[in-house]
Amino acid sequence: MAGGFVGGDVGKRAEFYEGRITSYFILACVVGSLGGSLFGYDLGVSSGVTSMDEFLKEFFPSVYRRKQEHLRETDYCKYDNQILTLFTSSLYFAGLVSTFGASLVTRKYGRRISIMTGSVSFFCGGVVNAAAVNIPMLIVGRILLGVGIGFGNQAVPLYLSEIAPPKIRGAVNQLFQLTTCLGILIADIVNYFTEKIHPWGWRLSLGLAVVPATLIFVGGIFLPETPNSLVEQGRLEEARRVLEKVRGTHKVDAEFEDLRDASEAARAVKNPFRNLLKRGNRPQLIIGALGIPAFQQLSGQNSILFYAPVIFQSLGFGSGAALYSSIITGSMLVIGALVSMCVVDRLGRRFLFIEGGIQMIVSIVIVAVTLALKFGHGETLSKGVAVLLVVMICLFVAAFGWSWGPLGWLVPSEIFPLEMRSAGQSVVVCVNLFFTAAIAQCFLAALCHLRYGVFILFAGLISIMSIFIILLLPETKQVPIEEISQLFEKHWYWKRIVGKDSKVESQKP
Ligand code: BGC
């Protein structure tokens, strides 16, 4: 297993790396990071479309009837429909299975082919969904979109990290989160306008998924494969040519040699998935592969995004106002991602995780208390209370946007040792999408039964995950990527598990 996020700080020769930011590199970043927009566009579009009357009338008439009956009521339960939720989560189940196929394609044929495969599947999904006349067509469309996301989320973070010069790898990696959030925001804006087009506006929202897919496919034709992947495939001359072009210099000997060494070392490991289970890699397994991706979703962020319009309608806002509200939350996410890109290498990962966690807990508790006092008695909320709720939801989303959102992808990518980085990334995508789907499937039922208590539940989970970070994650800011495993050997808890012996054992092929 070779490749992975080989960047400059492979160690030995990092100080001799040369290069500048070339237009070819920028093109690669723009096209590569567009992969995140597929993910984001879908997240944003689903939440808007599932609150559009004509969409509900056509596919989920019982939900529509319930919505009409309760139009004047503020009811926690009116959207609780497992089939409607299955429409949303079928995509994530497809994504979590296909990401393992993507891992194979990414390794054998390259990151670029995976990204392009993802865009083709996403394109087909967009077309089938826009033309859907029954629920099976809707679900098939969602599955195709899901395969697109399984491939995209597997390959794009890898692609960005490999193509980036080492010094700015963190910020470049976070382009994925930025384009995800831009995708959500654009989808929110699209929904805002298509909602006014009767009776087929929802088809336009779903069908416009073909736009980012086409851009990525066409861009992909011109996209360079990463030098790492070319080395991995044994295409050494081509790898060197691409490296020179991306870095804008012929003096790439040091970086190229590191790349070859890293690739050799990684190839010695026969089964990267099994390697992940060895005792010496326990911190990476617990923190990177399982903890962070699961907790990112258990924060409840996507419940708020998927169903922001539903929540706002349940709060007594009209349908248009609901979509308008989700445009506000989408903007918060973009701002959060930009803030994170600017400060993550200075303030550090732990600071952002902890600050973000506290802000999320405080704002969601205020949401819960407000709902407990003012909501569920069948009255529309007063303007002041509604504004307070919107502001608190925005503070929650912004905090996620600069903490668990981007770090949920960045930190796992930097703590896996090279030999299992690509396999690790598949597990990250799988766990992340599993929890995305599980939360989507459970949230509306939980809202219906636990009422405002569901937000207290999320506050409890965010407290647990913040403690997890405080106790178990060492600070990785500015630590060369290949030295990160040494942090665990000095860590107060992990040093007991990652002893010298287990380290030797885990490095055996
Ligand atoms: C998460 C998504 C989330 C998005 C925006 C990403 O990092 O993985 O689940 O919807 O951020 O909040």
Whether 174 is in the pocket of ligand 1, judged by its Cβ within 6 Å, is no
Is ligand 1 within 6 A of the CB of residue 436?
A: yes
d(CA 293, CA 73): 37
| CB of 308 closer than 6 angstroms to any ligand 1 atom | no
Distance CA(313)–CA(320), nearest Å, equals 9
305 lines ligand 1 (CB under 6 A): yes
Average pLDDT, the chain: 86
504 token code pair: 């030797």
Q: Report whether residue 323 contacts ligand 1, using a CB cutoff of 6 Å.
A: no
Element containing residue 379 per DSSP (H, E): none
Residue nearest to atom 9 of ligand 1 (CA): 302
- Percent of residues, the chain, with pLDDT higher than 70: 88
Rounded CA-CA distance 363/459 in Å is 9
Specify the residue with its C-alpha closest to ligand 1, atom 1: 405
Helices assigned H by DSSP within 166-252: 169-173, 175-194, 201-207, 210-222, 227-232, 236-247
**How far is 225 from 99, CA to CA, in rounded Å?**
19
326 C-beta closer than 6 A to ligand 1? no
Distance of alpha carbon 498 from alpha carbon 484, whole angstroms? 13
Closest CA to 43 of 205, 154, 216, 217: 205
Which residue puts its alpha carbon closest to atom 10 of ligand 1? 302
Long-range contacts of 112-116 (CB under 8 A, 24+ apart): 112/159, 112/220, 112/223, 112/224, 112/225, 112/226, 112/229, 114/151, 114/152, 114/154, 114/155, 115/32, 115/35, 115/151, 115/152, 115/155, 115/156, 115/159, 115/216, 115/220, 115/223, 116/216, 116/217, 116/220
Q: 181: Cβ below 6 Å to ligand 1?
A: yes
Q: What is residue 217's predicted lDDT score, i.e. its pLDDT?
A: 96
pLDDT digits (tens, 9 = 90+) for 140-166: 999 999 999 999 998 998 898 888 887
Among residues 440, 84, 445, the alpha carbon closest in space to that of 297 is found at 440
**Atom nearest to 43 CA in ligand 1:** 10
- The pLDDT value recorded for residue 8 is 39
Specify the pLDDT at position 282. Answer: 95
Instruction: Tell how far the Cα of 43 is from the centroid of ligand 1, in angstroms.
Output: 8
pTM for the model stands at: 0.88
CA of 68 to the centre of ligand 1 (A): 31
Rg of the chain over CA atoms, in angstroms? 23
- What spacing in Å lies between the alpha carbon of 405 and ligand 1's midpoint? 5
Cα 99 from Cα 93, distance rounded (Å): 10
Q: Which residues of 100-132 are buried (b: 16+ CB within 10 A; e: fewer)?
A: bbbbebbbeebbbbbbbbbbbbbbbbbbbbbeb
pLDDT of res. 252: 92
Low-confidence ranges of the chain (pLDDT < 70): 1-12, 14, 70-75, 78-80, 306-311, 313-323, 375-380, 480, 482, 500-509
Type of residue at 451: R
51 touches 322 (CB < 8 A) = yes
Does residue 180 have its Cβ closer than 6 Å to ligand 1? yes
State the alpha helices, DSSP H only, in 6-110.
23-49, 53-59, 61-69, 82-108
Q: What is the pLDDT of residue 179?
A: 96
Q: Is the CB of 405 under 6 A from ligand 1?
A: yes
From the CB of 302, is ligand 1 less than 6 Å away? yes
Minimum CA distance residue for ligand 1 atom 12: 405
Encode pLDDT of 269-324 as tens digits.
778 788 889 999 999 999 999 999 999 999 999 887 765 666 676 566 666 666 67
